[in-house]
Amino acid sequence: MKLFVPLVLAVAALAFAQQAPSALPKVKFTDTRLDNGLRVVIAEDHFAPLYAICVSYKVGSRDERQGRTGFAHLFEHMMFKGSENVGTGELDFLIFTNGGNSNGTTNTDRTSYYEVLPKNQLDLGLYLEADRMHGLVITQENLENQRQAVKEERRQSVDNQAYGQTDERLEELIYDNFAYHHSVIGSMGDLDAASVDDVKQFFKTYYAPNNAVLALVGDLDTKETLAKVKKYFGDIPRQDPPQPVDLTEAPKSGERRATVEDKLARLTRLDPRRRRRRFRRARRSRRGQQLASLPETGARQGGRGSGVVRHRPPRWPGVFPHLGHAASGQDRRRSRGPH
């Protein structure tokens, strides 16, 4: 009997191991373009009585001009400061009190805003996103409030963080074209230089339905959902398309190096990065680790090259070395402070 039980377990394990892996189910979705240019993607998933909504605008730090770095990320913060029919702080309040969550995120190529809500709050999510796409409230007070929030975020994640300058220096080494040569969060000087007129022009240029993709997934009915999307978003006027950004890079064949005198580091650290001939945009998790790659044709082309950043700590006697925290990548997410 003692031999029989292990034998049965071994046979069962062998049979389980020999089973062919089940194929992943295909994701069924609809892809619709409204008359005003808004692209709408809807996928039904009835596993739980929830849905998620995400609006992605085709604008990131690559669209910024010199002297206004960090503007795309600063504008992401502005989108939470109230719209025509939703007051300051009301968007988060309405989402949270209805059992949901929300946030925004900016990288080099796009800016996205999302909410997760119970299925019976579909109208709420659509209304909130449509209202700020149509009529964002842009005032000097709101701009100054969020300017200070972003500057504090830079201090926390870059300036006062061990190895926090890694991403900035690597981007500067690898890319010569200004579009990708600078960081998403920008410089303190450029953040201070942003004006209300800059914000208004940025909103008019990039936050238009014909420059956005609206995606919904969850416990939805596609026909009903699309009808509501047209109800809330259909009357928002399209704008002239933004001017395309020059992304060309001269071929590179050698290695570039830089050394950072990092007063916050305790150990020397090397950060190598290699640029591939055809860039593949990385999808990143909350902490910035690369999870997968999505092909992006025609972007960031040029010869192969690489960059290495060496962080050199100061020689402080009597201090035990320890590893610092790496920078969180080029995807900036709105912080949750009392802004």
In this structure, how many other beta carbons lie within 10 angstroms of the beta carbon of residue 267? Answer: 14
Residues 218 and 54: their CA atoms lie apart, in Å, by: 12
Assign 189 to helix, strand or coil.
helix
Q: What is the model's pLDDT at position 226? A: 98
Buried b / exposed e over 178-201, threshold 16 CB at 10 Å, is ebbbbbbbbbeebbebbeeebbee
DSSP-derived pairing of the beta strands 305-312 and 255-261? parallel
DSSP 194-205: --HHHHHHHHHH
Q: Is 164 helix (H, G, I), strand (E, B) or coil?
A: coil
Burial of 71 (0-12, 13-18, 19+ CB in 10 A): buried
Name residues whose C-beta falls within 8 Å of residue 138's C-beta, 6 or more positions apart in sequence. 78, 196, 199, 200, 203
Residues in the chain: 339
- Give me the pLDDT at residue 43, please: 97
Phi, then psi, of 78 in degrees rounded to 5: -60, -30
User: What pLDDT, on the 0 to 100 scale, is given for residue 273?
Assistant: 80
Q: Give the model's pLDDT for residue 20.
A: 55
Chain segment 73-92, per-residue pLDDT in tens? 999 999 999 999 999 999 99
Q: What is the mean pLDDT of each run of 10 residues along the chain (339 residues)?
A: 50 54 82 98 96 98 93 94 94 96 95 97 98 95 93 93 89 91 92 92 95 98 98 97 92 86 89 63 36 35 56 47 37 53
pLDDT at 82: 95
User: What tens digit of pLDDT does each residue of 165-190 get?
Assistant: 888 888 889 899 999 999 999 999 99
Predicted pLDDT at 253: 82
Domains of the chain: 29-233 (3.30.830.10), 255-331 (no CATH)
CA–CA separation, 18 vs 117, rounded Å? 41
